[in-house]
Amino acid sequence: MENVCPQCGAGLAAGATVCSFCGTRVEPPAAAVTYAERPGLNGMAVASFALSLLWIVGLASAVAIYTGYRARNQIKQTGERGSGLATAGLVIGTFGLITGILIVSLGTIFGGQETAHDTARARADILTVAAAESRYYDVHHSYPASTADLGVGSATLGLNEVINVASGPSAFCVVGTYGDDEPWFLYDSSNDGATLSTEKFDTGLAAENACVAGNVGGFATLAAQ
């Protein structure tokens, strides 16, 4: 729109500060004010921060680190907002990843130690039962027909431990394991228990089938007294 004098309404030349018709001083029109558009929020920065908070054994943390790194590079080029979120995602994600690695590593170490302990305990308890068989034989000159006759105390058996015994007139076999998913072991009196320290079996049936002692009956679960 053309500028006009507020006093007399005459038209004013562009940039004029005095009306040429009535001499009234006028203010030049204010320049149009423009506002720069505010930069948007970087999506990868948001994703990095959100993933870093999920932390699922380090998996989400690894993705948070990657997206945080990508977000920081994008923000440098585009000027978008979200640099703080990207940095937070990187820091928290790195912490989560390191923590996850430590947890898995410690779990593997302690799990291996627990398995080794259970293996040693199972073998020791099988030896205890074998010794009870020998003591019984020394008195009765035969091996017991019932596991209850062995007189093994209940303190010998662990919570998830299973020990099965098969006896005959002149020989016996003992198989056992210390829990689910643990190996089975065999003590065979016909080879002086050599198998106990040399072999592991995946199942109790496999351990029982490996018994070569002659004239033994069927295997029965140890009855603790």
> Whole-structure pTM over 0.85, yes or no?
no
- The span from the CA of 193 to the CA of 129, in Å, is 12
List the one residue out of 219, 154, 212, 208 whose CA is nearest residue 185.
Answer: 208
- Whether 184 and 114 have beta carbons less than 8 Å apart is answered as no
Distances (CA, A) of 181 to 73, 82, 118, 177, 195: 49, 49, 11, 9, 20
Give pLDDT tens digits along the chain (225 positions): 457 777 676 666 666 777 767 767 767 665 555 556 677 888 888 888 887 877 655 678 888 888 888 888 888 888 888 888 888 888 888 888 777 777 776 655 554 454 567 788 888 888 888 888 889 888 888 888 787 778 776 556 766 788 999 988 889 999 999 877 889 999 999 888 888 888 899 999 999 999 988 888 889 888 654
State the Cα torsion 182-187-191-197 to the nearest 10°. Answer: 40
